A and B are shown apart, each in its own frame.
Chain A
């Protein structure tokens, strides 16, 4: 047994319910199977235990966390535990009154998603009318005195808008803009061909972001999150499995990341059945890829294994069929050819929207395949 490291970050997925239908959603494709959400008291207990373990950062996420009618109480408790508390929201359910109450409860920061710069593109991605409301809410967030990160998931349909998105973030007074290239898991994996940008589009967007990063330094921080397929570099996913980060889903299962349920055979323990500290330390899922004993070649003897941790376990499973393989994003992976062919597979496929109906249909096809 490896001595467990200290967790610093907890992502609390308070609910999978969401009014948006974004085609890149990171919630599990079979989210419709998710049952009773943790109660207010259960989440409060989790936040207290997380703080005792060493967690300093809490992301209140979803689905749409604002759908929880106990959000003010959860924020109050998180701040009572001295957690840096960030709300990750689509924004469409926010108004001045809610923002004021979140502020009084001690919320530290808001991360607001938008889906594009032009309304038509944004709403094609979100699958519902939402863009104007989001822009209004961005202003209300700033007026309420919150620091604001604007998050935009970038893909083939909006990558040409990167200059407009930067201008928009600046105009809205955001502190930070995340140009987060699509990570191809869950719903984004279902829509991969439709969302994959071309090499030319990606390189151009990266160049524009780099120039803007220098231009806006000191006023707007710009983060360009890589597209794995086009960057060619395996990412140090989650800073290593079970090392500093944990995610708890709406029913209380503790996971090393929000995508890990895609790996077959992992058993996730729930905070309903035991203390968070014990789960973090002992649960089979948290230990499955801790340390480096699980590594195969070329990772096991690689000089970069403590830098990128072999990339992403979920991606290794999805692309190589074995979560202990090197992430095929790495050029040294024997399966790297899959990544090369997928990178060139952009196509105008019809978009699959994230909603309960599609979740049921896709779950059926997963079962039968």
Chain B
């Protein structure tokens, strides 16, 4: 995992979120394509405002979780963010 502590993820300038009323899911739109997000993915990306750290994002998503559940979520969030970053959509 390459995700670092100092990273405050946000969508790159050319990407934006849109709720798609047809498939009823969030899409990341960018010039070349669109990427459909599941509910968890959408919840994560909505919190990526360039100010919050990954720790803070996971805190917000895991309010009622125990430690083991929080660790599992942390891994999931980091994998997900790395994937979206590798697509060039997060910075």
* B→A interface (CB under 8 Å): 12-14, 16, 18, 20, 22, 27, 29-34, 85, 88, 91
Distance between B30 CB and nearest chain A CB, rounded to angstroms? 7
A149 to chain B: which residues have CB within 8 Å? 14, 31
CB contact list, A114-144 vs B, under 8 A: none
Cβ–Cβ contact B34 & A175, under 8 A: no
Whole-angstrom distance between the alpha carbons of A8 and B32 in the complex?
Answer: 11
B31, A176: Cβ atoms closer than 8 Å: yes
> Residues of B contacting A6 with CB < 8 Å?
22
Q: Which residues on A sit within 8 Å (CB–CB) of B91?
A: 218
A359 within 8 A of B: no
Q: Is the CB of A176 within 8 A of B27?
A: no
A86 within 8 A of B: yes
Is A155 part of the contact surface with B, judged by Cβ < 8 Å? no
16 contacts between A and B (CB under 8 A): A8-B33, A56-B27, A56-B29, A57-B31, A82-B18, A84-B16, A84-B29, A84-B31, A108-B14, A108-B16, A108-B31, A109-B14, A109-B30, A149-B31, A175-B12, A175-B14
Enumerate chain A residues within 8 angstroms of B34, measured Cβ to Cβ. Answer: 8, 56-57, 84
Across-interface contacts of A175 in B (CB, < 8 A): 12-14
Q: A56-B29, A176-B88 are in contact. List 7 more A-B contacts (CB 8 A).
A: A6-B22, A56-B18, A108-B16, A147-B13, A175-B14, A176-B14, A218-B85
B18 touches A84 (CB 8 A): yes
Residues B88 and A221 in contact, CB atoms below 8 Å apart? yes
Closest to A8 in B: B34
**Which of A's residues lie within 8 Å of B, judged by CB?**
6, 8, 54, 56-57, 82, 84, 86, 108-109, 111, 147, 149, 175-176, 218, 221, 223
Alpha-carbon separation in the docked complex, A147 to B20 (Å): 23
CA distance A221 to B91 in the complex (A): 12
What is the CB-to-nearest-CB distance from B43 to chain A, in angstroms, rounded to a whole number?
20
With a cutoff of 8 Å between Cβ atoms, the chain B residues found around residue A54 in the complex are 20, 22
Q: How far is the CB of B46 from chain A (nearest CB, A)?
A: 17
Nearest 4 Cβ contacts at the A-B interface: A147-B14, A84-B29, A147-B13, A221-B88
Q: Which residues of B contact A108 (CB under 8 A)?
A: 14, 16, 29, 31
Residue of B nearest to A82 (CB): B18
Question: Shortest CB–CB separation between residue B4 and chain A, in angstroms?
Answer: 12
| CB–CB A147/B12 < 8 A | yes
Docked CA distance A147–B88 (Å): 13
CA distance A223 to B32 in the complex (A): 11
Q: Which residue of B lies closest to A86 (CB)?
A: B31
**Cα A111 to Cα B32 with chains together (Å):** 11
Instruction: Give the complex CA separation of A176 and B14 in angstroms.
Output: 10
- Give Cα A57 to B31, complex, Å: 7
Chain B residue contacts of A111, Cβ below 8 A: 31
Query: What residues of chain A lie closer than 8 Å to B31, measured between beta carbons?
Result: 57, 84, 86, 108-109, 111, 147, 149, 176
Residue of B nearest to A147 (CB): B14
Residue of B nearest to A59 (CB): B31
